[in-house]
Structure 1
Amino acid sequence: MINLDEILEKNKAYVAKHPELADKGLTSHPTKKLAIVTCMDTRLVGMLEDALGFERGEIITIKTAGNSVTQPIDNIVQSLLVATYGMEIEDVLIIGHENCGMIDFSATQFMESMKEKGISEDAIRMIEPGLIDWMDRFHISEENVRYTVQFLRHHPLFPKGMGFYGGMMDPDTGEFRYIEV
């Protein structure tokens, strides 16, 4: 269970240490006009943006399990559409990473784990097709990046000329490798 008192205490200390933040004049619009879609892996937290040279206010970072986009209008696409039409981004960078935990999952294993934690068979059946399509397609991180870039490049809701790119990050060293798609 989280320790809210500790979080509030650390936040109070952070705010006291950084009074200049309020004077930065930042908005929700990223100054670099870039959104990054990446994995929610904890090893990327606090490292990814820094390793690529981005500062607060310059980019939008969207995190999801496996940096995947599988549906025409899932939460990632919705977020990218808001970023495109509401925050004026022009480019999207999909970043996968080495040793992704998604590689270790299968839809069958995942559904078994759900059953063990008390999720009903009916609820599991409701999501099974989408879960299989998403989880069982994900076996090689680099291929997932290629698939996601192609999926978004051909998505009918993004404007012509918008840039979609891919890359891989080593979560242990921070090394980034561009992937030609």
Structure 2
Amino acid sequence: MRTPQRKLGKYSHLKPDPNITEKKYNELMTELEKLKKIFRPPAIKEVKRLALMGDFSENAAYQIAKGRLRGINKRIDDIEDHLKRANVIKTNKSDQVELGSTVTILIDNKEKTYTILGSSETDPSKNVISHNSPIGQAIMHKKKNDIIEFKISGNTKTIKILNIK
């Protein structure tokens, strides 16, 4: 059975950001182990069991099990690829903003604190932003007390770096 070919999305060809924290690296390793040792073996057994029923073209249960196994194998490949290219962020005490830095800034007369990480770990609700975000790009490699102007959505914003941890 052939699956329909879908047009690739605008960002589907992009690889995940290789910059990850040690915590994220360990989470990916744990997920990889679970997939390989807990989820894949029963999926393989199920495919083998259903294959014994004969005609593959009309064996819906076999097709479903095979699809599930393909999904597990795809996730394993994705994680292995991400881990191969991973650049684990080492937090250094530095006088400038780098990956892994926690930065307190003054923007729009409001004090805000952000942690700068790779794109795969962003969580704006927890003030974790990407180094590729507009604010992240503006403050990367800047120092305490620097004042930076940058454009976002056609507006010019001014940021002052108050503290770097």
Which band: TM-score by shorter chain? Answer: under 0.3
Q: Give the strand-richer structure, 1 or 2.
A: 2
Higher relative helix content? 1
